[in-house]
Structure 1
């Protein structure tokens, strides 16, 4: 029996530079990154902050920033999908990618103890990695599976991909899935600096795939999608925005931090096989694109291995050049770029692009967006530390 088609019927976002799709398109058309000097106690660093005064109304003593960002994005996604608390969500699942959990609250609790020998009673609820998933379930009355995925930078992509498999199994008709992260803390910034992977100085920018690339910047944010079987969406008159047609998951099993192009290529191939597509059917890749020396070379090599001569005809977007690296939520941002490609014919540029690197010779869509492009299928990559790789394929609903 054919498995059910899975479609996106809504999405919501809170990202550096954009809190809605209209704002996101304006940002991408501007060709200007949303990362900025962080200032305050984080002076000396650059990164991506979410600007949304409305978040204050969601904050409670039991919620870290990563849960607040998640709730804001989910609220918008449900509104777009035409869903509210009640029968439509009673049996819905909640699948959340979050690499670090309540990082701000963890750091604050350590400071509270060393400065005042006191720790607040709400600390545990704020710090738990599954807190965003629990808060979403409680707020919206979702009694289906509530699951959290902590797979470093591929967390959101795995959460979305595993949600798709749940829907395809026929055991669920509707799922809230995405990722959230709030990593802008002294501890996290200094950890990434110590690893020599962070762009240095308050004026640093992210430059994926070009010769001047010098590392990543951290960003906070959340992206969530409403996923449904096509049958369930049509039964309630919801518009399918795009189909999630393929999911590949593979582990390098080689190194905790070094990327492995063979593992990445295997992941993309699995997604293509799952979707029943040939490499030539793809028109766009929403890349992991971290702007690290090894990472960009590995991903480019993997794309060439999978697509062969067709790789030169692919448009390759790197959203981290705009927002910074959202770690566990990064896959959700990349999926938005794939959705834009197949639904709107809009190809997100890779900004801050300078001198082409002779080792990196794909079409990285430097600095300026492309519109009116006919793309039926887009591949979205997320590669996490520990060698956990995920690829998703987004297809146009014909």
Structure 2
């Protein structure tokens, strides 16, 4: 197995529309959660979300833009950023040995929602001709491949909240074993349609609005947490063998050391300690990393009662008493839950944090919970951190648990 380097990172997110902007916002504890300004906001119980300031017209010509749902716009722009940062000369590459691996939970839900509104609410018997092309889950990956002529495997993963972690892990496997020279891997999500948000409301998993500080409504690991806040955006990584990256003089952003995958197989929404332990254990084995050598964890940390307590318990099973010395960050407090793109954004932020010797904060953690008693880096980033290895956890409805093992660049 070859060592796999990350040589490019692209981000479109509530924290900023580049990897650097997103990292600096997270480092400074700036929240991307705000009141929704959509026409349907008054019909929502809690009209807040982590939204992206983004206009697709600035990136795509009108005809192409009509075929791209917001989820594809995010994905293509993030991939283009990552490729530009990698400084790869694509004209000298065998594009049949380049793969695209993208995770998304809901796909083009804005386009699908618009079509349903035309049919069922407006009484029209016609919808836009590109609705299927815009709404299909594999559209972001397909457009990334088309944009750059990549003819290797083009795969879309939809495993709810772990989708993009799975996509990155599966891409890592193929680059590590030599099946591919390079891969674009990550996730994209644009779930803020009226129908989507109302469906999430019906599950009773969304956070109540903090009346004093609405932007602080997502409170991972805090006793007064009330649920998650939906977010949108995309994050993409360029993965290639470390040897090739060094040979061409590329700047290495970090490494992927391993990937663990395990399934709860017990309940469609309820997480299990056993499933999360299995995924973290598999990731550490894959990376050949002993638990005492791990420096930090990026938690799934959704802010729901069940997930945060379960994840805390699972970390204790893996690391024993040392769990209390491992810093655990939950950045969803700032950027919301990007569903299928969450794992990719959190992986990107973790790599950047290690580059800058920073441990990112878990915001809005003011009330301690006896069931959540680890070091969650409360409310403020820690500078001068000596973090060289991290786990990035992604756990999902449906039970697919995916964990990435990351290492800082040498």
Deviation for aligned residue 1:54: 6.0
Instruction: Give 2:376's aligned residue.
Output: 364
Q: Does 1:200 align with 2:208?
A: yes
Instruction: Give 2:320's aligned residue.
Output: 308
Structural mapping, 1:135-284, within 5 Å: 135-201=143-209, 203=214, 205-284=217-296
Deviation for aligned residue 1:236: 2.0
SS of the residue aligned with 1:8?
A: strand
Do 1:206 and 1:214's aligned partners in 2 also have CA atoms closer than 8 Å?
A: yes
CA distance, structure 2, for counterparts of residue 53 and residue 124 of structure 1: 22
Instruction: Give 1:21's aligned residue.
Output: 19
Q: Does 1:6 align with 2:8?
A: no
Do 1:261 and 1:301's aligned partners in 2 also have CA atoms closer than 8 Å?
A: yes
Do 1:379 and 1:393's aligned partners in 2 also have CA atoms closer than 8 Å?
A: yes
For normalisation by structure 1, the TM-score amounts to: 0.96
Deviation for aligned residue 1:53: 3.8
Structural mapping, 1:27-46, within 5 Å: 27-43=25-41, 44=44, 45-46=47-48
CA distance, structure 1, for counterparts of residue 276 and residue 57 of structure 2: 36
Q: Report the more deviating stretch, 112-121 or 126-135.
A: 112-121
Instruction: Give 2:396's aligned residue.
Output: 384
Against the structure 1 CA distance between its residues 387 and 76, is the aligned structure 2 distance closer, same or farther, given a 3 Å change threshold?
same
Do 1:89 and 1:140's aligned partners in 2 also have CA atoms closer than 8 Å?
A: no
Deviation for aligned residue 1:277: 0.9
Deviation for aligned residue 1:121: 1.2
Q: Pick one of 110, 113, 122 that aligns with 2:119.
A: 113
Instruction: Give 1:87's aligned residue.
Output: 92
Deviation for aligned residue 1:42: 3.7
Deviation for aligned residue 1:24: 2.0
Q: Deviations over 1:184-231 (max 9, x none)?
A: 011111111111101134836100000110000111000000000112
Deviation for aligned residue 1:25: 3.2
Instruction: Give 1:78's aligned residue.
Output: 83
CA distance, structure 2, for counterparts of residue 79 and residue 65 of structure 1: 21
Instruction: Give 1:122's aligned residue.
Output: 130
Q: Report the more deviating stretch, 168-177 or 199-208.
A: 199-208
Q: Does 1:64 align with 2:69?
A: yes
Deviation for aligned residue 1:339: 0.6
CA distance, structure 2, for counterparts of residue 90 and residue 236 of structure 1: 17
SS of the residue aligned with 2:382?
A: coil
Q: Report the more deviating stretch, 256-265 or 231-240.
A: 231-240
SS of the residue aligned with 2:340?
A: helix
Runs of 5+ consecutive residues of structure 1 not aligned to the other structure: none
Deviation for aligned residue 1:338: 2.0
Deviation for aligned residue 1:242: 0.9
Deviation for aligned residue 1:55: 5.5
CA distance, structure 1, for counterparts of residue 355 and residue 152 of structure 2: 29
SS of the residue aligned with 1:183?
A: coil
Deviation for aligned residue 1:85: 4.5
SS of the residue aligned with 1:335?
A: helix
Deviation for aligned residue 1:47: 0.3
Q: Report the more deviating stretch, 218-227 or 116-125.
A: 116-125
CA distance, structure 2, for counterparts of residue 230 and residue 335 of structure 1: 18
For normalisation by structure 2, the TM-score amounts to: 0.94
Deviation for aligned residue 1:21: 2.9
Q: Deviations over 1:355-376 (max 9, x none)?
A: 0111110011111011111111
Against the structure 1 CA distance between its residues 55 and 12, is the aligned structure 2 distance closer, same or farther, given a 3 Å change threshold?
farther
CA distance, structure 1, for counterparts of residue 400 and residue 228 of structure 2: 19
Number of aligned residue pairs: give it: 396
Do 1:97 and 1:150's aligned partners in 2 also have CA atoms closer than 8 Å?
A: yes
CA distance, structure 2, for counterparts of residue 74 and residue 96 of structure 1: 10
